[in-house]
């Protein structure tokens, strides 16, 4: 019986090329991978609710979103709208429509209010994973942007290549 042992430190952030892979069972992060018992020319599209649930709660995705938020928050003298537009361009490789941008600006305002009302929730959210959150950033804004970035990274458009 083989048991997967999670790495720590820098080894934790290696690319998936080094992911533990059993012959007949794919890693859990690959939802619709081939069975490896027959050849598959193209990958199946994965957009199940289970996949979304896993990626929204997986510490690696939360840490990636937090790093993405740090990148956005270090843009000097930028407004929320400019930061969100930049985030959208990075995640989706296209500009956001006016409607999408307005929706995301409303979302960041709502997230800031939610995290401001519960600072402990913001701190808990930022502490997910092994990497240390930046102490130079405002906790509420940092948590709000990390949450928004996680939502962007979890969209079907960002997750799948068509």
Per residue in 72-94, pLDDT (tens digit) is: 999 999 999 999 999 999 999 99
Judge whether 149 lies within some domain.
yes
Total number of domains in the chain = 1
- Cα dihedral: 34, 40, 43, 49 (round 10): -30
Q: How far apart are the first and last CA of the chain?
A: 38
Is a pLDDT exceeding 70 seen at residue 44?
no
Residues of the domain holding 85: 49-159
Contact 30, 41 (CB under 8 A): no
Judge whether 18 lies within some domain.
no
Helices (H) and strands (E) in the chain, counts: 7, 0
**What pLDDT, in 10s, does the model give residues 7-33?**
777 777 666 555 555 666 666 666 666
> CA-CA distance, 35 to 13, in Å (whole number)?
26
**What pLDDT, in 10s, does the model give residues 88-131?**
999 999 999 999 999 999 999 999 999 999 999 999 999 998 88
User: Alpha helices, DSSP H only, in 38-97?
Assistant: 49-57, 59-73, 80-92
Residue 52 pLDDT class (50, 70, 90 cuts): confident
pLDDT at res. 5: 72
Judge whether 112 lies within some domain.
yes
pLDDT at res. 112: 98
Judge whether 65 lies within some domain.
yes
Judge whether 44 lies within some domain.
no
């Amino acid at each position: 019986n083989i048991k997967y042992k999670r790495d720590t430190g820098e080894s934790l952030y290696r690319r998936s090329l080094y992911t533990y892979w059993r012959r007949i069972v794919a890693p859990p992060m690959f939802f619709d991978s081939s069975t490896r018992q027959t050849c598959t020319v193209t990958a199946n599209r994965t957009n199940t609710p289970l996949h979304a649930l896993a990626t929204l709660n997986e510490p690696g995705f939360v840490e990636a979103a937090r790093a993405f938020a740090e990148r956005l928050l270090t843009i000097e003298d930028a407004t929320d709208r400019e930061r969100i537009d930049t985030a959208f361009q990075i995640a989706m490789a296209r500009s956001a429509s006016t409607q999408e941008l307005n929706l995301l600006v409303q979302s960041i305002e709502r997230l800031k209010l939610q995290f401001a009302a519960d600072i402990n929730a913001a701190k808990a959210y930022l502490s997910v994973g092994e990497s240390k959150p930046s102490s130079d950033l405002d906790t509420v804004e940092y948590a709000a942007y990390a949450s928004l970035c996680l939502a962007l990274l979890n969209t079907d458009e960002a997750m799948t290549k068509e």
